[in-house]
C-alpha cells in the first residue's frame, strides 16, 4: 500500500511503454506486480489512462487511423500481396497490423449513405475485391470520370484530377496529396505512376519501399517526404522535404541515364530536375516546400479532421453557385470562409450545444463578443429527390451553428467570403426547415427520401462533429448552414 516514489516512477515508465506498444513479456509481468501490490500504483494507472483517453478524445488519430488502415482487410479477407516493381527496397513488414476493427464502423457509415455506396459499387465493379488506396479527403476536386466520395476505396487504374486537391492513403501506408490538374495511375498498394501534375508524398517508416514512377524516372523513397512536379513527356522536378530519396532511370542511352541507372540520391532541402527534351538531363533547381508545391488551401490546413458521406470541400465557391445546381450535385458542400474573425458584439446563432435538432427557429443563443472564430458555410443543393447525409468533424470545437436566414444574412458580411454576393435577408428559403411542429405534420415521413422532409442536424457531445440529413427541392431549393468554430489563432 506504500506510495514509494520509485515504484510510481517505475510504473509511469511501464505504462508509457504500454501505450507505445513496446512492453516486453517481462515488463508486463512487472506491471501486474506493481498494480497488484500498491493502491497508489493503481490510482496512478487510472490517472494516466484517463488522461490518455482524454487526449484520444481531443485527437482521435490513433483510433480512426487504425480503423482506416484495417478497413480493407475486412472487405477482402486475403489482401492480394502486390509485388513491388522495385524489389531493391522490399517493404518492411507492416508494423503491428492491428486486428481488424472496422466492420461495425463501416456498417455504421453505410447507414449514412446507402445510395452512394450502391453508386460507387456500380461504377467500380471490382472495388471490393481489389482496392489499393483510399480517398481520405478532397478539396474543390473535379474528376474527369468517376468522382470518388471521401472515404471510398480506390481500385487500381487511371485517374484524372482536373482541379482541386485529393488526399490518398495507400493500403501499404503511404499518404499522397495530389494537386490537379494531375493524371495518375494507381498501380498497386505501394506504387503510384504520376503522368503529369503535382503531388507530395509522405511515407511513414512502415511503408518504406513505396515507389513513384513518372515518365522520366523511378523514384524510391528512403524515408519520409518529397514533392513532385511532372510535365508529361517533359520533365520531372523532385523536391525532398524530409529524409532521402533515390531516383533511377529505366533506360541507359545517354550518360545521364547511365548515372541514373545506378541511382542518385537527393537529400533533404534539395531539388533536382530531370528533363527529357532530347536526351535526359539532370540539373539542380531551387527547392520548394510542401506549401509551394501544393498551395495553401489544402484539406490539412482547413481545420477539418474527418469527412464522411456526400460531403465535398470547395474553395472556389462563387456567387453563381448559390443559385445554380449542376448535375450530380446532390451533396453537402463545405466552403471555408473567413478565419480569425474577432466578434465585436455577441453573434446570434441557432445552436450552441450538443444534441439532435429537427426544428429550427430563433433560440436566443449567442456566441459572446470577444471570441475569435473561423467560419464554414455548408451549402446544400440537389438534382434529385433524396436525403443528403454526411458527417463533418472539425479539429476545433464548434461554437455555434447558424441555421436561420436572418442570422445567416447578419453574419455574411462579417465572416463570409468577400468575393461572394450572399442572398439578402428576405431570401427565407435559405435556412433549414421546418421551423415549427405544424410544418412537420404536413411533411411525409422523414425517411422516405422522396419528398420534402425535415432537415436534421446533430452536434456531438464533444462539439467537434456535425451530422447532417438534409433535403432540398431538386434543382430549385437551396439550404445553407454556417458553422462557427473556435479560431486556431
Partner 1 sequence: MTTPENDEPSPNNGDLAMEITSIQPRLYGFILKRLADREYTLEVLQRTNLVLCRKANEFQKGSSFTAWAFTIAKFQIMAWRKDEGRNRLVFTEDVYALLDRSSADEADSVDRRIPVLKGCLNRLRQDERELIQQRYRDGLSIEALAGNLQYSIDAIGMRLLRIRKKLGTCIRLNLNTEGQHER
Near partner 1 in 98-157, by CB under 8 A = 98-105, 107-109, 111-112, 114
Residue 50 binds partner 1 (CB under 8 A):
yes
Residue 32 binds partner 1 (CB under 8 A):
yes
Choice from 1, 5, 6, 36 touching partner 1 (CB under 8 A): 36
Residue with Cβ nearer partner 1 (353 or 476): 353
Residue 409 binds partner 1 (CB under 8 A):
no
Residue 452 binds partner 1 (CB under 8 A):
no
Contact positions with partner 1 (CB under 8 A) in 227-266: 242-243
Residue 169 binds partner 1 (CB under 8 A):
no
Contact positions with partner 1 (CB under 8 A) in 415-434: none
Q: How many residues contact partner 1, by CB under 8 A?
A: 81
Residue 96 binds partner 1 (CB under 8 A):
yes
Choice from 10, 30, 40, 66 touching partner 1 (CB under 8 A): 66
- Asked if residue 168 lies in contact with residue 136, where contact means CB atoms within 8 angstroms, the answer is yes
Residue with Cβ nearer partner 1 (4 or 50): 50
Contact positions with partner 1 (CB under 8 A) in 457-486: 458, 460-462, 464-465, 467, 469
Residue 440 binds partner 1 (CB under 8 A):
no
Q: How far is the CB of 295 from partner 1 (least distance, A)?
A: 21
Candidate ranges 58-66, 178-186, 257-265, 434-442; the one touching partner 1 (CB under 8 A): 58-66
Candidate ranges 17-25, 118-126, 157-165, 271-279; the one touching partner 1 (CB under 8 A): 17-25
Q: How far is the CB of 225 from partner 1 (least distance, A)?
A: 8
Residue with Cβ nearer partner 1 (28 or 265): 28
Distance from C-alpha of 365 to C-alpha of 176, rounded to nearest angstrom: 42
Q: How far is the CB of 187 from partner 1 (least distance, A)?
A: 23
For the chain, state the CA radius of gyration.
26
Residue 389 binds partner 1 (CB under 8 A):
yes
Residue with Cβ nearer partner 1 (72 or 214): 72
Q: How far is the CB of 241 from partner 1 (least distance, A)?
A: 11
Choice from 7, 10, 40, 42 touching partner 1 (CB under 8 A): 42
| 119 phi/psi in degrees, rounded to 5 | -65, -45
Q: How far is the CB of 209 from partner 1 (least distance, A)?
A: 13
Q: How far is the CB of 461 from partner 1 (least distance, A)?
A: 7
Contact positions with partner 1 (CB under 8 A) in 308-337: 308
Candidate ranges 79-87, 186-194, 287-295, 440-448; the one touching partner 1 (CB under 8 A): 440-448
Amino acid at each position: 500500500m506504500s506510495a514509494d516514489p520509485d515504484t510510481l516512477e517505475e510504473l509511469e515508465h511501464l505504462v508509457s511503454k504500454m501505450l507505445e506498444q513496446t512492453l516486453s513479456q517481462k515488463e508486463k509481468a512487472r506491471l501486474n506486480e506493481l498494480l497488484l501490490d500498491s493502491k497508489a500504483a493503481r490510482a496512478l494507472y487510472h490517472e494516466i489512462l484517463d488522461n490518455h483517453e482524454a487526449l484520444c478524445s481531443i485527437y482521435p488519430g490513433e483510433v480512426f487511423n487504425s480503423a482506416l488502415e484495417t478497413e480493407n482487410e475486412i472487405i477482402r479477407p486475403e489482401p492480394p500481396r502486390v509485388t513491388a516493381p522495385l524489389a531493391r527496397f522490399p517493404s518492411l513488414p507492416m508494423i503491428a497490423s492491428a486486428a481488424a476493427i472496422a466492420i461495425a464502423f463501416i456498417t455504421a457509415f453505410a447507414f449514412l449513405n446507402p445510395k452512394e455506396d450502391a453508386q460507387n459499387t456500380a461504377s467500380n465493379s471490382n472495388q471490393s475485391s481489389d482496392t489499393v488506396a483510399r480517398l481520405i479527403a478532397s478539396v474543390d476536386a473535379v474528376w474527369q470520370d468517376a468522382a470518388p466520395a471521401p472515404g471510398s476505396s480506390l481500385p487500381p487504374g487511371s485517374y484524372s484530377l482536373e482541379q482541386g486537391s485529393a488526399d490518398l492513403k495507400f493500403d501499404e501506408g503511404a499518404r499522397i496529396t495530389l494537386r490537379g490538374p494531375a493524371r495518375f495511375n494507381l498501380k498497386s498498394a505501394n506504387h503510384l505512376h504520376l503522368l503529369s501534375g503535382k503531388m507530395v508524398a509522405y511515407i511513414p517508416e512502415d511503408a518504406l519501399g513505396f515507389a513513384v514512377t513518372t515518365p522520366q524516372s523511378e523514384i524510391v523513397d528512403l524515408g519520409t517526404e518529397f514533392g513532385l512536379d511532372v510535365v508529361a513527356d517533359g520533365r520531372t522536378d523532385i523536391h525532398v522535404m524530409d529524409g532521402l530519396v533515390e531516383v533511377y532511370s529505366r533506360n541507359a542511352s545517354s550518360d545521364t541515364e547511365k548515372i541514373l541507372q545506378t541511382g542518385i540520391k537527393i537529400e533533404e532541402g534539395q531539388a533536382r530536375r530531370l528533363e527529357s527534351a532530347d536526351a535526359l538531363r539532370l540539373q539542380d533547381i531551387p527547392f520548394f516546400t510542401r506549401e509551394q508545391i501544393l498551395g495553401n488551401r489544402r484539406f490539412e490546413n482547413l481545420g477539418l479532421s474527418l469527412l464522411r458521406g456526400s460531403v465535398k470541400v470547395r474553395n472556389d465557391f462563387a456567387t453563381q453557385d448559390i443559385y445554380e445546381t449542376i448535375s450530380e450535385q446532390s451533396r453537402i458542400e463545405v466552403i471555408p470562409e473567413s478565419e480569425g474573425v474577432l466578434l465585436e458584439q455577441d453573434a446570434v446563432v441557432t445552436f450552441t450545444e450538443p444534441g439532435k435538432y429537427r426544428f429550427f427557429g430563433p433560440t436566443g443563443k449567442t456566441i459572446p463578443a470577444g471570441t475569435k472564430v473561423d467560419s464554414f458555410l455548408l451549402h446544400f443543393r440537389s438534382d434529385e429527390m433524396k436525403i443528403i447525409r454526411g458527417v463533418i468533424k472539425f479539429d476545433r470545437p464548434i461554437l455555434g451553428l447558424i441555421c436561420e436566414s436572418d442570422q445567416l444574412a447578419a453574419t455574411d458580411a462579417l465572416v463570409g467570403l468577400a468575393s461572394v454576393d450572399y442572398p439578402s435577408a428576405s431570401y427565407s428559403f435559405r435556412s433549414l426547415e421546418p421551423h415549427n411542429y405544424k410544418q412537420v405534420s404536413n411533411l411525409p415521413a422523414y425517411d422516405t427520401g422522396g419528398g420534402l422532409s425535415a432537415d436534421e442536424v446533430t452536434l456531438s457531445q464533444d462539439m467537434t462533429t456535425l451530422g447532417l440529413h438534409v433535403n432540398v427541392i431538386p434543382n430549385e431549393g437551396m439550404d445553407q448552414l454556417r458553422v462557427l468554430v473556435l479560431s486556431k489563432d
